[in-house]
Amino acid sequence: MIDTFKKEILECRNPIITTHKGPDGDAVGSSVAWYHFLKKLDKKPILILPDAPSSFLMPFLKNVEYVVFDSENAINTADSNLLFCLDYNAANRVGSKMEQFVGSFPSKRIMIDHHPNPEAFCDITISRTNICSTAQLIYQVIDEMDLLELLDVEIGKGIYLGIMTDTGSFRFPSVDKNTHLILAHLLEIGVKHHEIHEAIYDVNTIDRIQLRGYAIAEKLELHPDYPLGIISLSKEELDRFHFQKGDTEGLVNVILSIEGISVAAFFKEENEGVKISFRSKGNYYVNEFAAKYFSGGGHKYAAGGQTSSDLNVTMNQFRSLVGELFQ
Ligand code: 5GP
Ligand code: MN
C-alpha cells in the first residue's frame, strides 16, 4: 500500500491539496506540512480551502500558494492528476459548495485522515483512526516512504501545529509515545515550539476574552441530572462582542474542564442555523450522537454537527434527546 502511495506521489503533477470546511489547526497544519513536503519533491502543489481559517491560523499559510474555494470561479484541474483529501473522511466535509468539486475531480484522489468511518470516495485511503492528528500521520507516512531526510522547519511547523491543536496541547488519550518522539525530532531540526504556542494561544483580542468571560459567567448551564455542561450563544450575543471566526474556539473545552463534568456541549447560532461542538471523556462518546441527530460526526471524544433551525428550536431538540448520551 505505501509503495503504491509513494509511486503516485513521486509521479504526480501539480497536486491539489484539500481539507475540511472550517479548517482547524490540524487541517491547516497537515495541509501546510504536506504542501511544503510536495514542494521539496519539486512538485507544484496548490492548497484549496473550502473557507478561510480563523485569523490566528493565517500566519501558517504565509509561504503557501492557496485559494479559498469559490464556486463562481472554476479552478482549472486539467493540469493536475492528483487530489489529496487531508483531515476529512467524507466528501461532504468540504461543505456543499466544494463537495461537487472534490467529487467530480477527474483524476485520482488520496485520503490521509484519522477520523473514524472513512467513506469510500478516494482511490487510496490512508485512514488511521488511532492516531491523534492528521499531522502526525503526515509525519508517519513520510517516514514510511523513507523520505524523512526531506523534513525541514516549514514541514515541521505544520506538523507541530496540527499535533498541538488536535491533542489539546499533547494531553488527550490519543497522544502516544510516537507523538513525543516525533515532537522531539521536530525540535531537533529547529522547530521553535514556543513560537507556535504563542501564535495560537497568545493572540486574544479584548472582545474575544470578554465574549468568553460572558459565556462562562452568564451562559453556562449545568444539567440537573447528568454530568453535562452547556453553553449557547445567540447571534445577538455574538454580535455584541463583535464575533470573529475562532473567538469561541476552545470554549467547549473550558466546560469539560469543570470537575465532575463528562460531556460538554457548545451551541453557536449562525446566519443559517446552529453549529454545535461536543466534547466528552470517560465512558461517554459523542460522535454517534452528533451523527444521528445533528448531521455531524467526529471522534469519540470530540465531535460536532449543525442544524438549520434557530437556537431555541435546536436547544429544545438537544434537551429532549440528550438522555441518550448517558444511557
Ligand atoms: P469542533 O467542535 O472543533 O468544530 O469539531 C470537533 C471535531 O468534530 C472535528 O475534529 C471533526 O472531526 C468533528 N466535526 C465537527 N463538525 C462536524 C460536522 O459537521 N460533521 C462531521 N462529520 N464531523 C464534524
Ligand atoms: Mn484532525
pLDDT per position as a tens digit, 234-254: 999 999 999 999 999 999 999
**CA separation for the pair 303, 298 (Å, rounded):** 4
CA of 237 to the centre of ligand 1 (A): 23
CA of 304 from ligand 1 middle (Å) equals 4
Determine the pLDDT at residue 206.
98
* Ligand 1 atom, smallest distance to 291 CA: 22
pLDDT at 36: 99
Given a cut of 80, is residue 72 above it in pLDDT? no
pLDDT tier at 87 (50, 70, 90 boundaries)?
Answer: very high
User: Which numeric CATH code is attached to 2-201?
Assistant: 3.90.1640.10
Residue 260 CA, distance from chain mean position: 27
114 lines ligand 1 (CB under 6 A): no
pLDDT in tens, 88-117: 999 999 999 999 999 999 999 999 999 999
Q: Where are the domains of the chain?
A: 2-201, 206-326
Q: Is 27 in the pocket of ligand 1 (CB under 6 A)?
A: no
Q: For position 309, what pLDDT does the model report? A: 98
The yes-or-no verdict on residue 1 having pLDDT over 90 is: no
Give me the pLDDT at residue 78, please.
86
Q: Say what the pLDDT of residue 58 is.
A: 98
- Topology (CATH) of 206-326: Diaminopimelate Epimerase; Chain A, domain 1 (3.10.310)
Question: Residue 71 pLDDT > 90, yes or no?
Answer: no
Average confidence (pLDDT) over 202-210: 97
pLDDT digits (tens, 9 = 90+) for 19-28: 999 999 999 9
Provide CB contacts within 8 A for 209, sequence distance 6+.
none
Q: How many helices (H) and strands (E) does the chain have?
A: 12, 12
Query: Which tens digits make up the pLDDT trace of 122-159?
Result: 999 999 999 999 999 999 999 999 999 999 999 999 99
25 lines ligand 1 (CB under 6 A): no
- What separation in Å is there between the alpha carbon of 119 and the centre of ligand 1? 15
Instruction: Compute CA 49 distance to the chain's CA centroid, rounded to the nearest angstrom.
Output: 12
Residue 302 in contact with ligand 1 by CB distance below 6 A: yes
Nearest CA to ligand 1 atom 20: 296
CA–CA distance, 104 with 122 (Å, rounded to integer): 11
Residue 73 has pLDDT above 80, yes or no: no
Q: Are 66 and 113 in contact (CB under 8 A)?
A: no
Please tell me the predicted confidence (pLDDT) of residue 262: 98
What is the predicted pLDDT for the residue at 75? 81
> Are 162 and 174 a contacting pair, CB within 8 Å?
no
What is the CA(20)–ligand 1 centre distance, in A? 9
Residue of minimum CA distance from atom 14 in ligand 1: 304
Confidence (pLDDT) at 74: 76
Q: Provide the Cα torsion 294, 297, 299, 304; round to 10°.
A: -50
Residue pointed to by grid coordinates 516525533 = 182
- Can you read off the three cell numbers belonging to residue 226? 447528568
The CB of 277 under 6 Å from ligand 1? The reply is: yes
294-319 pLDDT tens trace: 999 999 999 999 999 999 999 999 99
What mean pLDDT value characterizes the chain?
97
Indicate if ligand 1 lies below 6 Å from the C-beta of 115. yes
Ligand 1: distance of its center to the CA of 83 in Å? Answer: 22
Residue 6: what pLDDT?
A: 98
Confidence of residue 65 (pLDDT cuts 50, 70, 90): very high
pLDDT at residue 151 in the model: 98
Q: What pLDDT sits at residue 175?
A: 98
Instruction: For the chain, give the percent of residues with pLDDT over 90.
Output: 97
Q: Is the CB of 299 under 6 A from ligand 1?
A: yes
* Secondary structure (DSSP) of 79-131: T--EEEEES-SSGGGG-HHHHHHHHT-SSEEEEEE--SS--S-SSEEEE-TTS
Ramachandran class of 75: left when φ > 0, alpha when ψ lies in -120 to 50, beta otherwise: beta
pLDDT tens track for 154-196: 999 999 999 999 999 999 999 999 999 999 999 999 999 999 9
